[in-house]
A and B are shown apart, each in its own frame.
Chain A
Amino acid sequence: MEVSSAEAALSVSASSIRITDVTQDGDVLTFALTSQKLDSSAGVCVFRIYEDFDWLQQSLFSQENLPGLQGIIFPPLPSKALPSQSNTQTKALKQLGFLALGQDWQSYCKALEFYLQQVAAHPTLCKCKALDSFLFNSESPGKQRGRKGIFNRLSQAVEEMRKESHKDVDNFFQNERNKNTNLAALSKVATEKLLDVVMTEQKLALACGHFSTSLHLCVNQDDASAVAFSKVCLKLSDVIEAVKRNLEKVASNNLSTLGLGLDLESRYQEAEKEMLFRRTCKLIELETVKKGTEKAKANKREVLEAFQKAVEKEFNLISSVAKQEIERFHSSHVNVLKNFLIGWCEVQLNTAKEFAELYSQHLEACRNMYSE
Chain B
Amino acid sequence: MAASSERSPPPFPDSEEPELLEDSDEGADAFTGTSISEMDSPSPDSTRPPKDIFNEPLEDIFSDPLSNINSEPQKKVDTKIPSPSSDEVVDLFSDPLDDDSEVISSPEVQNPMPDLLNEPVQAPKSDVLGEPPVHKNAARQQYIFEDPPKGSSKSSSVKKAASAELFGDEDEEDLFKELPKVVTKKPQPLGPPVDVFTEVKSDVKVKPQVKDDPTDLFTEEALTAPAPKPSASSSSSRTNGVHSEEHDLFSEATVELSLDSPRNDRKKKDAVKPSVSAPVAPVASSSSKAPSKTLEELEEEESEDTFDLNISVTNPEKVGDGMNAYMAYKVSTQTSLTMFRSKMFTVRRRFSDFLGLYEKLSEKHSQNGYIVPPPPEKSILGMTKVKVGKEDPSSAEFVERRRAALERYLQRVVSHPSLLQDPDVREFLEKEELPRAVSTQALSGAGFLKMLNKATDAVSKMTIKMNEQDVWFDEKIQDVENEEQHMRKLHIMVESLVNHRKELSGNTAVFAKSVAMLGSSEDNTALSRALSQLAEVEDRIEQIHQEKAANDFFTFSELLADYIRLLGAVKGCFDQRMKAWQRWQDAENMLQKKREAEAKLLWANKPDKLQQAKDEIAEWEAKVTQYEREFERISATVRKEVIRFDKEKARDFKRQIIKYLESLLNSQQQLIKYWEAFLPEAKAIA
Contact = CB atoms under 8 A, between A and B. Distances in A.
A369 B654 contact: yes
A211 B672 contact: no
A341 B504 contact: no
Contact of B668 (A196, A200, A355, A369): A355
22 contacts: A179-B523, A186-B517, A186-B518, A193-B511, A197-B511, A200-B503, A222-B475, A225-B650, A229-B649, A231-B650, A232-B657, A236-B653, A334-B526, A334-B685, A342-B679, A352-B675, A355-B668, A359-B664, A360-B665, A363-B658, A366-B658, A372-B304
A194 B297 CA distance: 53
Contacts of B518: 183, 186-187, 190
B678 interface: yes
Interface string B547-588: 000000000000000000000000000000000000000000
Given A190-B514, A232-B654, A348 B675 contact: yes
A203 B500 contact: yes
Contact of A352 (B522, B671, B685): B671
Dominant secondary structure of chain B at its interface with chain A: helix
B399 interface: no
B657 A366 contact: yes
B661 A363 contact: yes
Contacts of A239: 657, 660-661, 664
Interface stretch (B252-260, B489-497, B601-609): B489-497
Given A204-B497, A232-B654, A352-B671, 10 more contacts: A179-B521, A200-B507, A204-B500, A220-B482, A225-B650, A232-B650, A355-B668, A356-B665, A359-B664, A372-B301
Given A201-B504, A204-B497, A225 B646 contact: yes
B475 A225 contact: no
Contacts of B527: 334, 337-338
Given A204-B501, A229-B646, A229-B649, A345 B682 contact: yes
Residue from A204, A239, A334 with most neighbouring chain B CB atoms (10 Å): A204
B661 A359 contact: yes
A288 interface: no
Interface size, B (range): 35 or more
Contact of A207 (B479, B496, B665, B683): B496
B182 interface: no
Nearest to B664: A359
A341 B479 CA distance: 53
A285 B479 CA distance: 83
B592 interface: no
A96 interface: no
Contacts of A220: 479, 482-483
Given A193-B510, A215-B490, A372-B297, A356 B657 contact: no
A190 B483 CA distance: 45
Contact of B493 (A179, A182, A207, A352): A207
B500 A194 contact: no
Contact of B685 (A210, A214, A338): A338
Q: Top 3 closest A-B pairs, CB basis?
A: A225-B646, A193-B511, A338-B685
Contacts of A207: 493, 496-497, 500
A226 B643 CA distance: 9
B650 A353 contact: no
Contacts of A338: 527, 530, 682-683, 685
Contacts of A356: 665, 668-669, 671-672
Given A190-B518, A235-B657, A337-B527, A349 B679 contact: yes
B534 interface: yes
Contacts of A197: 504, 507-508, 511
A364 to B, nearest CB: 9
A183 B521 contact: yes
B489 A214 contact: yes
B524 A334 contact: yes
Nearest to A213: B493
Contacts of B685: 334, 337-338, 341
Nearest to A347: B675
Interface in A324-372: 330, 334, 337-338, 341-342, 344-346, 348-349, 352-353, 355-356, 359-360, 362-363, 366-367, 369-370, 372
B647 interface: yes
Contact of A211 (B494, B524, B675): B494
Contacts of B517: 186, 189-190
Nearest to B534: A341
A254 to B, nearest CB: 10
A340 to B, nearest CB: 9
A228 interface: yes
Contact of B500 (A186, A200, A232, A348): A200
A211 B686 CA distance: 45
B214 to A, nearest CB: 22
Given A214-B489, A215-B490, A352-B672, A189 B514 contact: yes
A226 B646 contact: yes
B321 interface: no
B468 to A, nearest CB: 16
A345 B507 contact: no
B679 A366 contact: no
B416 to A, nearest CB: 16
A233 interface: yes
Interface in B341-393: none
A363 B662 contact: yes
B678 A345 contact: yes
A208 interface: yes
A243 interface: yes
Given A341-B685, A356-B669, A366-B654, A243 B664 contact: yes
B515 A190 contact: yes
B676 interface: yes
Contacts of B515: 190
Nearest to A247: B504
B617 to A, nearest CB: 42
Contact of B511 (A196, A210, A217, A232): A196
B661 A362 contact: yes
A225 B679 contact: no
Interface string B36-61: 00000000000000000000000000
A349 B675 contact: yes
Interface in B293-331: 293, 296-297, 300-301, 304
A276 to B, nearest CB: 15
A360 B296 CA distance: 31
A190 B678 CA distance: 19
A296 interface: no
Contact of A345 (B475, B486, B653, B679): B679
Contacts of A217: 486, 489-490
Contact of A214 (B297, B493, B649, B676): B493
A218 interface: yes
Interface string B397-422: 00000000000000000000000000
A330 B524 contact: yes
A345 B531 CA distance: 12
B500 A193 contact: no
A186 B671 contact: no
A182 B301 CA distance: 67
Nearest to B528: A334
Contacts of B526: 334
Contacts of A189: 514, 517
Interface in B467-484: 475, 479, 482-483
Contacts of A228: 646-647, 650
Contacts of A235: 654, 657
B671 to A, nearest CB: 4
Contact of B643 (A225, A344, A360): A225
B508 A334 contact: no
B578 to A, nearest CB: 21
A343 to B, nearest CB: 9
Contact of A372 (B300, B475, B646, B664): B300
Given A225-B647, A229-B653, A349-B675, A367 B493 contact: no
A273 B662 CA distance: 50
